[in-house]
Structure 1
């Protein structure tokens, strides 16, 4: 188990129609040189999304879905280091929800209002974990890194 405590810095940003949310978030993080960023909250809407479904397999590959309709973002969570790990929950026009691991194509419909936290005393990185087969979060103290 990896864990550490830290002071918190908060950033707020609003993205507009047509912007791709994942790329826009990663650009925001890079522009501000954030070292341990994560999503605190997000509300908004999208017209597209590409997601990998949890534990869904089709011939030993993860199932990827491409959505192309209006959805409300009812939840967006995760870490935003260079290899971001985000999960999203979307609601359709009937209020039915669907969620998964964000791969991209999150095209903002009207707005995406995002509050980003940064653990000021930590560094987030990702390294391949052969137990899971995925790059997993590595948490370091900034004071240990120097």
Structure 2
């Protein structure tokens, strides 16, 4: 296992009702030209979500659920490079939680307040890993610093 250190840059944004969280985050990353972005924290609420569950494999990707009700975002974690890898945990009206790999369709209900970090000395990409069958994170040192 290799370890790499980097300085940190912090950015924040707030999304409003009806905006789609994943595509908005990816657009923000593109606008800001972020090379190694990740979620620091996120709070807010959603009315829809499409998630891949833990049983999914490269050969069985149909472990997908489409949710449509009001949820609080209790956790959002992951990397935001072009092929974002995000996991979310949502709480329903009774406080019961469900979570999984974000596929999209995350429609904001009232707000989504997101704080994004960028490792300014790194560059994140994804490459197919034959061991897992999924594109996995590749971490590279950046030659130029912000």
- What band does the TM-score fall into relative to the shorter chain? over 0.9
Tell me the number of residue pairs that the alignment of Structure 1 and Structure 2 aligns.
Answer: 143
1:94 match: 94
The residue aligned with 2:64 is 64
Q: Which segment is superposed worse, 2-11 or 114-123?
A: 2-11
Q: Deviations over 1:66-86 (max 9, x none)?
A: 000000000000000000000
Describe how 1:1-146 pairs up with structure 2 within 5 A: 1-56=1-56, 60-143=60-143
Q: 1:56-114 CA deviation, whole Å, 9 max, x = no partner?
A: 47x83340000000000000000000000000000000000000000000000000000
C-alpha contact 1:2 1:139 (8 A) present in aligned 2: no
Coordinate RMSD, CA, aligned: 1.4
Structure 1: runs of 5 or more not aligned = none
> Would you say the 8 A contact 1:86–1:102 is kept in 2?
yes
Instruction: Give the TM-score of the pair, scaled to structure 1.
Output: 0.94
**Contact 1:55–1:62 (Cα < 8 Å) also in 2:** no
> What is the distance in 2 between the residues matched to 1:16 and 1:2?
39
Q: In terms of mean alpha carbon deviation, does 45-54 or 59-68 score higher?
A: 59-68
Which segments of 5 or more consecutive residues in structure 2 lack a partner in the other structure? none
Q: Is the 8 A contact 2:16 2:109 kept in 1?
A: yes
Give the TM-score normalised by structure 2.
Answer: 0.94
SS of alignment partner, residue 48 of structure 1: strand
